[in-house]
Amino acid sequence: MRNKILIIIFLYCTISFGQPDVRKEINIPDILEYKTLKADFHMHTVFSDGYVWPTVRVEEAWIDGLDVISITDHVEYLPHKNDVNTNRNRSYEIATNRAKQLDIILIKGGEITKAIPPGHFNTLFINDVEALNIIDPYDAIKEANNQNAIVFWNHPGWREKDEIPIWRDFQEKIYNDKMIHGIEIVNVLTYYPLAFKWALEKDLIIFCNSDVHSPTGLKYDNESKMFHRPITLVFAKARTKSAIREALENRRTAAYYEDKILGKEQFLKPLFDECIEVKKKNIIINDEKSAFFQIRNKSEIDMTLIKNNINNQNLEYPDEVIIPSGRTVMIKIKGEMKELSQKENVKISFIVKNFIIAYDKYLEKEFEIKLISNFSE
Ligand SMILES: [Zn+2]
Ligand SMILES: [Zn+2]
């Protein structure tokens, strides 16, 4: 009888609660004194040309493992206006409570949507999106700046020939007037190498955003290494709105799309080091000609290392090493082990193919190990 009651209680609970919602935790570590926050600063709802309700954007962010989002409905393009309220501040207002409940940081935004050129510009930390509804593009961006917003250029190569962006007089003018602060180097799954170059040269904030219109699950696959939601990594002093703003103002971001991280070396270097662990620095050699050393990848991202021949000390090792996410690889090195074990340290140099620190430059990584001979002389 007692068992029967327990079974009934169990079944009742299963039916009434079901499987709890599950959040993905994106395993990209904190660096230096910063938290590595996962953000998406570009998405749409039914309040512009999107197909979801604002609270759903917050729930998706929770499921997708994000810390921060901004809903950036178009200011000028409201194709659902016969069916949905056209108050441009509503999507933020509606999403606010759900964001608080789920501990997602919601930053108020809007997309100034002009013809191309001059293009589309997102505004973050805006107060009144309605006030951005100004015909002249320069005046609209100026109004965003008057509201102390952070402004960035969206999908800069979109609708340009071969998707190559062009830095026109308009960009030059708003840049000289300090009215543009960032640029999307990745939008949806398109990477704009030239935008990355400009971001570094002109000290613009690097953004990498989904620009999602449909439910994220229809567009992206978070289980996939290549088709996951594009993410802006924000290296912030705390998980707060003001710390995010401070991080953006000081250009502490990186792009994470496909299996790649793109950003400044000063952040990518410590990030790679936090992702990777050399299992043992002191290696007992295998035989007179070879030894093995192990590298563990603690992160979310599959790492691709390419042999860098800069300081080849009569040492042979594979031209390419892939370290899958969450795995350890054993790398064979070949050479005159007795001779190498006399040295203080042996350096094994790689280029990290998926950590991109400039337009055409990859992060370089040198592993230092000590070879220990167990052969008696
Ligand atoms: Zn756009
Ligand atoms: Zn958009």
Can you give the CATH number for the domain in which 159 is found?
3.20.20.140
CATH of the domain at 348: 2.60.40.10
- One domain for residues 123 and 197: yes
**Domain membership flag for residue 42:** yes
Q: Among 311, 282, 279, which residue's Cα sits nearest to residue 370?
A: 282
Q: How far is CA 50 from CA 74, 82, 213, in A?
A: 10, 14, 4
**Of the bound ligands, which one is closest to the alpha carbon of residue 155?**
1
- One domain for residues 286 and 252: no
CA of 74 to the centre of ligand 2 (A): 7
**Model confidence at 110, in pLDDT bands (50, 70, 90)?**
very high
Contact (Cβ atoms closer than 8 angstroms) between residue 69 and residue 34: no
CA of 53 to the centre of ligand 2 (A): 16
**Of the bound ligands, which one is closest to the alpha carbon of residue 153?**
1
**Domain membership flag for residue 4:** no
**Domain membership flag for residue 7:** no
CA of 376 to the centre of ligand 2 (A): 68
CA of 40 to the centre of ligand 1 (A): 14
Instruction: Indicate whether 269 pLDDT > 70.
Output: yes
**Domain membership flag for residue 107:** yes
**Of the bound ligands, which one is closest to the alpha carbon of residue 212?**
2
Last residue of a domain, one of 205, 233, 263: 263
CA of 11 to the centre of ligand 2 (A): 45
Structure tokens at 376: 């008696």
Last residue of a domain, one of 263, 297, 314: 263
- One domain for residues 148 and 259: yes
**Domain membership flag for residue 281:** yes
CA of 321 to the centre of ligand 1 (A): 38
- One domain for residues 287 and 148: no
Instruction: Indicate whether 95 pLDDT > 70.
Output: yes
Rg (CA), the chain: 25
**pLDDT digit string, tens, across residues 136-174:** 999 999 999 999 999 999 999 999 999 999 999 999 999
Contact (Cβ atoms closer than 8 angstroms) between residue 236 and residue 34: yes
CA distance 21 to 59: 10
Share of the chain above pLDDT 90, in %: 86
CA of 5 to the centre of ligand 2 (A): 54
Q: What pLDDT is attached to residue 14?
A: 61
CA of 245 to the centre of ligand 1 (A): 22
CA of 209 to the centre of ligand 2 (A): 9
CA of 130 to the centre of ligand 1 (A): 17
- One domain for residues 294 and 162: no
CA of 155 to the centre of ligand 2 (A): 8
**Model confidence at 18, in pLDDT bands (50, 70, 90)?**
confident
Three-state SS at 11: helix
Whole-number mean pLDDT of the chain? 94
Q: What pLDDT is attached to residue 4?
A: 73
Cα angle for residues 115, 118, 124 (degrees, 5° grid):
95
- One domain for residues 226 and 104: yes
Instruction: Indicate whether 377 pLDDT > 50.
Output: no
Q: Name which residue leads in pLDDT, 30 or 360.
A: 30
- One domain for residues 142 and 227: yes
**CA contacts within 13 A on the Cβ side of 187:** 21
CA distance 205 to 247: 10
- One domain for residues 35 and 181: yes
Rounded to a whole number of angstroms, the distance between the first and last alpha carbons of the chain is 78
Structure tokens at 221: 């696959």
Domain count, the chain: 2
Annotate 208-238 with b (16+ C-beta within 10 A) or e (fewer). bbbbbbeebeeebeeeeeeebbbbbbbbbee
Contact (Cβ atoms closer than 8 angstroms) between residue 194 and residue 157: yes
**Domain membership flag for residue 169:** yes
CA of 176 to the centre of ligand 2 (A): 25
- One domain for residues 148 and 242: yes
- One domain for residues 283 and 161: no
**CA contacts within 13 A on the Cβ side of 239:** 13
- One domain for residues 201 and 121: yes
**Domain membership flag for residue 17:** no
**Domain membership flag for residue 20:** no
CA of 44 to the centre of ligand 1 (A): 10
- One domain for residues 329 and 354: yes
CA distance 71 to 306: 39
Last residue of a domain, one of 240, 263, 286: 263
- Domain range for residue 332? 277-372
Q: What pLDDT is attached to residue 10?
A: 65
Instruction: Indicate whether 358 pLDDT > 90.
Output: yes
CA of 50 to the centre of ligand 2 (A): 9
- Per residue, what are the HEC states of 273-336? HHHEEECCCEEECCCCCEEEEEEEECCCCCEEEEECHHHCCCCECCCEEEECCCCEEEEEEECC
Phi-psi region of 349 (alpha: psi -120 to 50; beta: other; left: phi over 0): beta
